[in-house]
Amino acid sequence: MAWQFTSNRPIYVQIVEEIELRILNGTYEMGMRLPSVRDLAVLAAVNPNTMQRALAELEEMGLVTTQRNTGRTVTTDESAVSRARDIKADLLAETFLMQMKALGLSRKEVLERLAKGENKEGEHAVNS
């Protein structure tokens, strides 16, 4: 199944986000060997050059390392992963809070909603 991309942002940025997410949530385990650029490109149905660019970006972020013999692997450096997770989580929280504020909700109301949302998610988990 080809990956889904939105139309208004560069594709390589969206690939970086997708792979980052997979690393952070453990779909791509630490130390796991990644498929070749060509295979990843076919999987995502994108241009191999674009995939190459995205992987270079991920390397710069310290989430992916290149070994001479084994190709690309997910980093084994836990601090790099947790650092990336922190950055991502902070960013999401910030965005969330900003949007809530824009809706005119108070701090107390926001916390209430969060608790409610958590319960709902728990119900979904039980049901499914």
Residues that bind other proteins (CB under 8 A): 2, 5, 7-12, 38, 41-42, 45-50, 52
DSSP 72: E
CB 24 → other proteins: shortest distance, Å? 24
CB 18 → other proteins: shortest distance, Å? 13
CB 118 → other proteins: shortest distance, Å? 34
**Nearer Cβ to other proteins (47/95):** 47
Q: Cα dist. 21→24, 81, 88, 89, 94 in Å?
A: 5, 11, 9, 11, 18
